[in-house]
């Protein structure tokens, strides 16, 4: 039985992350917020990264784009995008890459849009930057993009300011800006969390449709397993800076191999049936200053046994593209693929 610790590689990987480690704070006493994670995204894949606050999911995305806040830095690892090591790129080449081949949208579209410029100005700026179009041509392209993200009457909307738009419309504008560079990878950090449920459904549908139309990959960061189930093909579950499970969505929902994934799934109240009691996960995520030894989830885990404290369990392959980091399954027949 060999433990396989590499990423389960999809057919053609667009992005390969290897042993990525991101630290926060002073370098003599750093807090590790992303702790040696490895994963891939296929070139036409919708991947969701799931986790609770403090799991490191947003830091992972920011690390890929090298958009980390000043207090944080990448201390080890490799991020390979389309054959290029992003961590080795010069600052100016990286700037062209992010917002170019890789684009990102955020949770709060209001703070990502500049309130003193019209929607058209802001999309136009991106178009000029990435496609070299100016003036009329840029404006025409901006209207096209707005139509593409299904903003009604784009000819009128283009001259409006961000505050004149609803939250859903602003997020559509952000998507239009992201699409202006025809990215190969779109990173979406909780893009629908601030939106109402009916608007969320529309945005998710739009993203899915655009992803298929343009053949891009989407890395969706979310805490909502409902969104994952409806949107993603594969999901990565993060806990306290580590990947604990990585599997095709239907597989992970049907047969979660990590107790944390299982706990998350059980704690969602069902919409169409009555349950007497929710099965909550006890306790809360330990602060980075007081991480337990061995498996980080063991203090909250129903299956925890003494060996769990001994070492950090590595990710093991449990089937076609299904990895999980739990030693509970050691007596389980690990399939080699």
Partner 1 sequence: MTAGDLLQVRDLKKHFSIGSSLLKSRRQTVHAVDGISFDLAPGETLGLVGESGCGKSTVGRLLVRLIEPTEGSVRFDRREMRTLAGHDLRAVRKQCQFIFQDPYGSLDPRMRIWDIVTEPIVIEGTMTRPQRRTRSIELLEKVGLSAAAADRYPHEFSGGQRQRIGIARALALNPRLIICDEPVSALDVSIQAQVINLMADLKKELQLSYLFISHNLAVVRHIADRVAVMYLGKIVELAPKSELYHRPQHPYTRALLSAVPVPEPDQPTEPMELHGDIPSPINPPAGCRFHTRCPFAFDRCRSEEPILRESRAGHQVACHLDAG
Partner 2 sequence: MTESTLQAVPLEKPRNQLLSRMLSHRGLVIGAGILVVMVLAGIVGLLGLAGDALKISYQSRFVEPSAEFVFGTDHYGRSIFSRVVTGTHLSLLIGISVVAITAVFGVLIGAIAGYFPRLDGLIMRCMDALMAFPPIMLAIAIAAALGAGLLNLIVALGITYTPRTARIVRAAVLGVRNSEYIESARLSGASDGRIIVKHVLPNSMAPVIVDLTFVFAYAILAEAALSFLGVGPPPPVPTWGNIIAEGRDYLVDAPWISIFPGLAIGFSVLGLNLLGDGLRDVLDPRLTSK
Q: Which does 223 bind (CB under 5 to 8 A by kind): partner 1, partner 2, none?
A: partner 1
Cα torsion 241, 190, 86, 217 to 10°: value is: 120
Q: Which does 53 bind (CB under 5 to 8 A by kind): partner 1, partner 2, none?
A: partner 1
CB of 269 to partner 1, least distance (A): 4
Residues near partner 1 (CB under 8 A):
52-53, 152, 166-169, 196-202, 204-205, 223-231, 249-250, 253, 263-265, 267-272, 274-275, 277-282, 284-285
Scanning the structure block, which residue is given the tokens 């030693």? Answer: 327
Which distant-in-sequence residues (6+ apart) come within 8 Å of 144 by Cβ?
none
| Euclidean distance between CA atoms 113 and 165, whole angstroms | 11
**Start-to-end Cα distance in the chain:** 12
Tokens of 28: 């003599």
For partner 1, the closer CB: 101 or 190: 190
For partner 2, the closer CB: 221 or 281: 281
CB of 179 to partner 1, least distance (A): 21
CB of 334 to partner 2, least distance (A): 34
For partner 2, the closer CB: 92 or 289: 289
Q: Which does 146 bind (CB under 5 to 8 A by kind): partner 2, partner 1, none?
A: none
For partner 2, the closer CB: 277 or 336: 277
CB of 97 to partner 1, least distance (A): 31
Q: Which does 290 bind (CB under 5 to 8 A by kind): partner 1, partner 2, none?
A: partner 2
Residues near partner 2 (CB under 8 A):
280, 282-284, 286-287, 289-290
CB of 306 to partner 1, least distance (A): 24
For partner 1, the closer CB: 138 or 264: 264
Which distant-in-sequence residues (6+ apart) come within 8 Å of 155 by Cβ?
143
CB of 282 to partner 2, least distance (A): 5
Question: Mapping DSSP to helix (H, G, I), strand (E, B) and coil, where does residue 78 land?
Answer: strand
CB of 280 to partner 2, least distance (A): 8
Q: Which does 314 bind (CB under 5 to 8 A by kind): partner 2, partner 1, none?
A: none
Pairing relationship of beta strands 185-189 and 102-105 according to DSSP bridges:
parallel
Q: Which does 278 bind (CB under 5 to 8 A by kind): partner 2, partner 1, none?
A: partner 1
CB of 289 to partner 2, least distance (A): 8
For partner 1, the closer CB: 97 or 227: 227
- Return the ∠ at Cα 316 (arms to 313 and 318), rounded to 5°: 135
Give 169-237 as a DSSP string: HHHHHHHHHHHTT--SEEEEESTTTTS-HHHHHHHHHHHHHHHHHHT-EEEEEES-HHHHHHH-SEEEE
Which distant-in-sequence residues (6+ apart) come within 8 Å of 260 by Cβ?
237, 239, 244, 245, 281, 297, 300, 301
Burial 90-127 (b: 16+ CB within 10 A, else e): eeeebeebbbbbbbbbbbbbeebbeeeebbbbbbbbbb
Tokens of 135: 């003036």
For partner 1, the closer CB: 84 or 166: 166
């Amino acid at each position: 039985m060999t433990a396989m610790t590499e990423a389960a590689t999809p057919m053609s990987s667009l992005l390969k992350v290897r042993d990525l480690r991101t630290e926060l704070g002073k370098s003599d006493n750093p807090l590790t917020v992303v702790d040696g994670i490895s994963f891939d995204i296929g070139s036409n894949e919708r991947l969701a990264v799931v986790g609770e606050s403090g799991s490191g999911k947003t830091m992972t995305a920011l690390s890929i784009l090298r958009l980390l806040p000043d207090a944080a830095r990448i201390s080890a690892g490799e991020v390979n995008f389309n054959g290029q090591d992003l961590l080795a790129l010069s600052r100016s080449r990286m700037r062209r890459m992010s917002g170019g081949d890789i684009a990102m949208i955020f949770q709060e579209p209001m703070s990502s849009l500049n309130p003193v410029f019209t929607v058209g100005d802001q999309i136009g700026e991106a178009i000029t930057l990435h496609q070299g179009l100016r003036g009329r041509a840029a404006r025409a392209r901006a209207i096209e993009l707005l139509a593409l993200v299904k903003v009604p009457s784009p000819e009128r909307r283009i001259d409006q300011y961000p505050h004149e738009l609803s939250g859903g419309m602003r997020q559509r504008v952000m998507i239009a800006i992201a699409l202006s560079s025809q990215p190969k990878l779109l990173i979406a950090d909780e893009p629908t969390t601030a939106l109402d449920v009916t608007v969320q459904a529309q945005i998710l549908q739009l993203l899915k449709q655009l992803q298929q139309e343009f053949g891009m990959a989407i890395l969706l960061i979310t805490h909502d397993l409902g969104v994952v189930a409806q949107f993603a093909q594969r999901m990565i579950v993060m806990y306290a800076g580590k990947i604990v499970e990585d599997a095709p969505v239907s597989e992970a929902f049907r047969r979660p191999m990590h107790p944390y994934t299982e706990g998350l799934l059980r704690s969602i109240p069902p919409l169409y049936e009555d349950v007497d009691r929710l099965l909550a996960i006890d306790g809360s995520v330990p602060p980075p200053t007081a991480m337990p030894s061995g498996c980080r989830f063991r203090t909250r885990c129903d299956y925890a046994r003494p060996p769990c404290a001994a070492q950090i369990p590595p990710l093991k392959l449990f089937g076609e593209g299904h990895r999980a980091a739990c030693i509970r399954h050691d007596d389980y027949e690990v399939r080699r693929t």
